[in-house]
């Protein structure tokens, strides 16, 4: 099966391209947001193939997976040589994000679109988006298991936030300073250097560095379920997370602390930093839960079934 998919979210795409389907990834000269091509910091299989606009226009695409309004409006049709998603090519709109408007106004851009299916990555997103008559389903995150790498050798906390300065309160960047009263916080992610953090690292090295820290902090107020949180749990890290969006479903109590009370979360981070044995036990529980609920096989099975259904 041939799937056209833009490289928008690196960690999610890394999991998706592990499937049996062939994924064509748009690439342009600038390798910008509309044509990043294959990842450079992840290892992808050969089934993920870069394709130019000219090549995509004539390829036998079985299904297109859209992730941004611009793809829905014009970009996909342009790359498909005039073929319209949902009419000429089966189409899926993959929604990664929480709505950014008032809940009452959270109308999805693919709402009431004939020939479309909207896939949400969390049940929270499915609950909050209004997709009208467009069929919806949920395929929760799954990741390539990095293995249990936790050492917790550094009495510090780790947080992974891409573009932390720009996203600010949405990702809880402003809350990180509160956690420094419990332990030094090392910020990883794209643009982290602007805030004194550690700039974007290759995934394998990032996982090693995360796992050296004693505890993982997830301060996001209003984002979808960050894959870095699931990765931290797979690594065997105890988790301290804001109890917003999907986090209460993703992190069991035995894996750390989930709360809307910042003082409670700071106390939990301090506890794990000062009690390595407790941190390790919570990290073991976090890994067991993540492997059972966010494993790659379940994710790929869900996508294989959906791709088969929409192209039947």
User: Can you spell out the DSSP letters for 243-300?
Assistant: S-TTHHHHS-GGGEEEES-HHHHHHHHHHHHH-HHHHHHHHHHHHHHHHHHSBHHHHH
Looking at the fold, whether 126 and 33 belong to one and the same domain comes out as yes
Per-residue confidence (pLDDT) for residue 95, from 0 to 100: 98
Looking at the fold, whether 90 and 109 belong to one and the same domain comes out as yes
Per-residue confidence (pLDDT) for residue 137, from 0 to 100: 98
Per-residue confidence (pLDDT) for residue 104, from 0 to 100: 83
Looking at the fold, whether 125 and 166 belong to one and the same domain comes out as no
Residue 188: CB partners within 8 Å, gap ≥ 6? 158, 159, 160, 161, 197, 198, 200, 201, 206, 209, 210
Asked if residue 176 lies in contact with residue 185, where contact means CB atoms within 8 angstroms, the answer is yes
Looking at the fold, whether 172 and 93 belong to one and the same domain comes out as no
Reduced 3-state DSSP string for 58-120: CCCCCEEEECCHHHHHHHHHHHCCCCCECCCECEEEEECCCCCCCHHHCECCCCCCCCEEEEE
Looking at the fold, whether 200 and 179 belong to one and the same domain comes out as yes
- The verdict on residue 44 lying in a domain is yes
Looking at the fold, whether 72 and 191 belong to one and the same domain comes out as no
Looking at the fold, whether 6 and 78 belong to one and the same domain comes out as yes
Per-residue confidence (pLDDT) for residue 6, from 0 to 100: 98
- The verdict on residue 149 lying in a domain is no
- The verdict on residue 208 lying in a domain is yes
Looking at the fold, whether 112 and 205 belong to one and the same domain comes out as no
- The verdict on residue 148 lying in a domain is no
Number of domains the chain is built from = 2
Per-residue confidence (pLDDT) for residue 41, from 0 to 100: 72
**Secondary structure (DSSP) of 18-38:** TSSSEEEEEB-TT--TT-B-S
For the chain, 312 residues long, give each residue's pLDDT as a single digit of tens: 999 999 999 889 999 999 999 999 999 999 999 999 999 877 799 999 999 999 999 999 999 999 999 999 999 999 999 999 999 999 999 999 999 888 888 999 999 999 999 999 999 999 999 999 999 999 999 999 999 999 999 999 999 999 999 999 999 999 999 999 999 999 999 899 999 999 878 889 999 999 999 999 999 999 999 899 999 999 999 999 999 999 999 999 999 999 999 999 999 999 999 999 999 999 999 999 999 999 999 999 999 999 999 998
- The verdict on residue 147 lying in a domain is no
**Secondary structure (DSSP) of 137-202:** EE----B----------EEEEEEE-TTHHHHGGGTTGGGHHHHTTTS-EEEESTTGGGGTSB----
- Quote the domain boundaries for residue 109: 2-142+296-311
Looking at the fold, whether 100 and 187 belong to one and the same domain comes out as no
Looking at the fold, whether 104 and 193 belong to one and the same domain comes out as no
Per-residue confidence (pLDDT) for residue 9, from 0 to 100: 92
Query: How far apart, in Å, are the Cα atoms of 174 and each of 58, 168, 196, 220?
Result: 48, 6, 14, 10
- The verdict on residue 185 lying in a domain is yes
d(CA 287, CA 152): 14
Per-residue confidence (pLDDT) for residue 308, from 0 to 100: 97
Both tokens of 171, joined, read 């990702």
- Nearest Cα to 247, choosing from 213, 217, 267? 217
d(CA 27, CA 51): 6
Question: What's the CATH number where 169 sits?
Answer: 3.40.50.2000
- The verdict on residue 61 lying in a domain is yes
Looking at the fold, whether 161 and 273 belong to one and the same domain comes out as yes
Looking at the fold, whether 176 and 288 belong to one and the same domain comes out as yes
- The verdict on residue 78 lying in a domain is yes
């Amino acid at each position: 099966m041939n799937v056209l998919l833009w490289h928008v979210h690196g960690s999610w795409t890394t999991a998706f391209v592990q499937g049996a389907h062939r994924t064509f990834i748009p690439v342009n000269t600038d390798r910008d947001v509309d044509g990043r091509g294959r990842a450079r910091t992840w290892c992808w299989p050969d089934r993920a193939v870069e394709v130019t606009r000219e090549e995509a226009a004539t390829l036998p695409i079985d299904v297109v997976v859209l992730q941004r309004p611009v793809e829905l409006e014009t970009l996909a049709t342009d790359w498909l040589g005039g073929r319209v998603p949902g009419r000429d090519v089966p189409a899926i709109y993959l929604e990664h994000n929480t709505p950014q408007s008032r809940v009452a106004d959270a109308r999805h851009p693919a709402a009431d679109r004939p020939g479309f299916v909207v896939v949400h990555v969390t049940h929270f997103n499915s609950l909050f988006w209004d997709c009208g008559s467009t069929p919806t389903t949920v395929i929760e995150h799954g990741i390539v298991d990095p293995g249990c790498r936790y050492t917790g050798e550094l009495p510090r906390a780790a947080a992974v936030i891409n573009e932390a300065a720009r996203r600010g309160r949405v990702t809880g960047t402003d809350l990180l300073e509160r956690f420094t009263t419990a332990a030094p916080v090392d910020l990883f992610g794209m643009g982290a250097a602007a805030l004194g953090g550690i700039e974007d690292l290759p995934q394998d090295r990032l996982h090693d560095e995360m796992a050296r820290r004693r505890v993982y902090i997830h301060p996001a107020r209003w984002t979808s379920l960050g894959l870095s949180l699931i990765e931290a749990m797979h690594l065997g890290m105890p988790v301290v997370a804001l109890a917003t969006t999907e986090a209460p479903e993703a992190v069991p109590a035995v894996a750390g602390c989930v709360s809307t009370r910042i003082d409670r979360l700071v106390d939990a981070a301090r506890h794990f930093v000062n009690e390595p044995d407790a941190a390790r036990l919570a990290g073991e529980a976090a890994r067991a839960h993540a492997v059972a609920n966010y494993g790659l096989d379940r994710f790929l099975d869900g996508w294989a079934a959906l791709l088969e259904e929409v192209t039947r």
